[in-house]
Amino acid sequence: MRYAETGYNLEIDLSRGNIERVETDPRLTELHLGGQGTAAKILWDRVPPEVEPFSPDNLLIFSAGLLCGTPVPGANRTAVNTFSPQTNLLAHSLMGGFFAPELKYAGYDKIVIRGRAPDLVYLWINNDRVEIRDATHLRGKGAQETAALIKEELKEPNAQVAAIGLAGENRVYMASIEHANSSASRGPGPVMGDKRLKAIAVRGTKDINIARPAELYEMFLRLRKEIYENPHVGDWMAVEDDDSFHHDNFAWGNARVRRKGYWNKELEARWAALTRKVRDRLTGCYNCPKQCHLVISWPGRQRYFLKCFGKDTYHMAAFKELDFSYEILGVTQEYGLDSYSTPQVLAFAIELYEAGILTDQDLPGFPADSGERFYYLIEKIVRREGIGDVLANGVYWAARQIGRGAEEYDHNTIKKFEQLPIKLGKLNPPYFLMYATGEKMSITQIEGSFPQDPLPTREEREKFVSEWVAVPDDKFKQIFLEWEKREQLSIEASCAICDWNEMMHYIDDAVGLCGFLSSFRGQFGGKPVYHTNNLPHIISLATGMDLDKDGLWETGRRNRNLVRALNVRRGLRRKDERPPEDHWKIRDPEFEQKLLDAYYEFKGWNNDGIPTRETLVKLDLDYVSEDFLQRGILTGNEGTPSQETSAEKDEELKSRGC
């Protein structure tokens, strides 16, 4: 009997119209747990680097985390993985809500999708009954509208639906997959559109077996109470009135201006009043007592869910106020547009217009007001009309397609992907490493276990570490006690901090835990509910696996190195690992390279950022080292990198039209 997981994946071939229920190997659960971990193994085995992102042979995988559907509170994340047309690297996205538990209750751990349908379709998964259904009547419909229409068509109001809007249908690189109060953004949306898959609807009524149910239920009661009473967990970015940090330290426009001092008490009070006025209610994800999502009711717009930092991204990009975000989000979420990347693309286009690089010929009838310009550009982008066809490829590719100096306005991409528009002073060493070496498209999927800033007094630091239950090793307490200035962390400490941050996220991504209860919450008060000290026992109660902290950490390392290997096989090298020039005002290139040298050594990678043969073998990734040797990516025992560069990969992608 399989515990916590169902032991079955649903395999869909859209080209052939074939549907299979496939039993999985329990050994893969022991090695990778589940979620993104086992998805990475499937992608390694079945999608070689020669396969283009917009190819029927590329896979789109929806994975329920290992603990999803169990009594563990906050275990509700769906990992969505594929290879991104924007980066040609692994696309990693997580969405909360109710999809993953429903998938488990239907009897599946994953949906593995290949091929391309002849025309628009949607999947209907109702326990053992699975159908590929016509969706041509849903063409052009909004994401939430699509979900409502499918539920009505199926006469199943309890179905959980993940859908794309017009942006996904037209393979816009910023397209998101929308589901209930959550979304899977930053990569998989355009691939879902390329496969002509409009939506997936799931309804499940089966049970999930638990290894030690009575003990896990007792722990569930304690954890749920802790989550409910813990002020340090939950997505406060969506509901918090005081958002001074983002407005004072993040850039406005296309990473152009830092408006330090913009935030004030009068603004806070006015925006808080506006939020209370338009907030319909608060809601949360499956089996979680935190109500972290706002349901916004804005005049003239369909009700929509407000998530995370998306509350701020549009008005900051347009130099507007909060009401602008509330209004435009009702449009962009229906189109299925990522609220992190899209505002930067829009502001980038306006900046090019103001610089004379884009002209009235490119933008006929372009409005004067920045807000109206955003709406104008959105309509062009989601339909890929005119200049919108170029902007739909994101800032990195659009800058190079436009030319005429547009590359100089690519302020904020890393590995061809838009990042949070941070504008800070001196370089923060662990954050440099997280930005440079991270492969998850966003710093929020890498940071979180170690505080962002030191506390001013020794007394405050001692109090903090006395309550710091999440540390995997007491060395982090000593690092924090001695830390006085943000930029003054040793190279050794920076490597350890970055590694800890990464490991927690890779563990969460495998078991399906919300980062706001775990990997993203250690920096705010040091009291996340889940950490490496209690997760092994929780996982053991659910699955029956004999797991301790060292074993959990090794699994995190294995998953991390497999993701690295997937990207290395597609051309990722050291030269790609550099944050934008203006993330920090003061930079030290020599020190940055020393950081990279040390971190690569710390991780067991060679000087080009490639896992060595020794590291791979230790992590039971022998098959990766053999593949690297055959391809010439590694040579012999020393792991000498091949000469293939990311620049060559860029040219290859351009020739493919990606």
401: alpha, beta or left, given left = phi > 0 and alpha = psi -120 to 50?
Answer: alpha
pLDDT at 247: 79
Check residue 459 and give its pLDDT: 95
Q: pLDDT tens, 334-349?
A: 999 999 899 999 999 9
The Cα-based distances of 8 to 12, 43, 97, 122 in angstroms read 13, 17, 22, 21
Q: What size, in residues, is the chain?
A: 658
Residues whose CB is less than 8 angstroms from the CB of residue 395 and which lie 6 or more positions away in sequence, other chains included = 254, 341, 344, 345, 348, 410, 412, 413, 418
Of 469, 450, 539, give the one whose Cα is nearest residue 215. 539
pLDDT beyond 50 at 658: no
CB atoms within 10 A of CB 128: 10
pLDDT mean over 557-578 = 97
Question: Are residues 75 and 96 in contact, defined by beta-carbon separation less than 8 angstroms?
Answer: no
Average pLDDT over residues 135-142: 98
pLDDT exceeds cutoff 70 at 462: yes
The pair phi, psi for residue 215, each rounded to 5°, is: -65, -40
* Amino acid letter for position 578: R
Residue 153 has a pLDDT of 98
Task: Tell me what pLDDT residue 186 has.
Answer: 82
**How far is Cα 140 from Cα 234, in angstroms, rounded to an integer?**
34
Domains, the chain, in order of start with CATH, read: 8-203 (3.60.9.10), 233-418 (1.10.569.10), 427-650 (1.10.599)
Q: Are 75 and 512 in contact (CB under 8 A)?
A: yes
Q: What kind and span of H or E run contains 342?
A: helix 341-354
Q: Which two tokens stand for residue 396?
A: 């990195």
Q: How many CB atoms lie within 10 A of CB 448?
A: 25
Confidence of residue 644 (pLDDT cuts 50, 70, 90): very low
Q: How confident is the model at residue 643 (pLDDT cuts 50, 70, 90)?
A: very low
Reported pTM:
0.94
- The secondary element (H helix, E strand) that includes residue 239 is helix 236-239
pLDDT band at 652 (very low <50, low <70, confident <90, very high): very low
- Where does the pLDDT of residue 618 fall: very low under 50, low under 70, confident under 90, or very high at 90 and above? very high
Please report, rounded to a whole number, the percentage of residues in the chain having pLDDT higher than 90: 74
What average pLDDT does the structure give for the chain?
91
pLDDT in tens, 157-169: 999 999 999 999 9
Number of C-beta neighbours around residue 503 at 10 A: 22
pLDDT band at 65 (very low <50, low <70, confident <90, very high): very high
- Token duo for residue 567: 């990207």
| Residues facing residue 94 across a β-bridge | 79
Give the mean pLDDT of 232-236: 70
Q: What is the pLDDT of residue 646?
A: 44
Closest CA to 497 of 483, 470, 476: 476
Question: What pLDDT does 452 receive?
Answer: 87
Angle, CA of 164, 170 and 172, to the nearest 5°: 85
Contact 273, 217 (CB under 8 A): no
Percent of the chain scored above 70 by pLDDT?
95
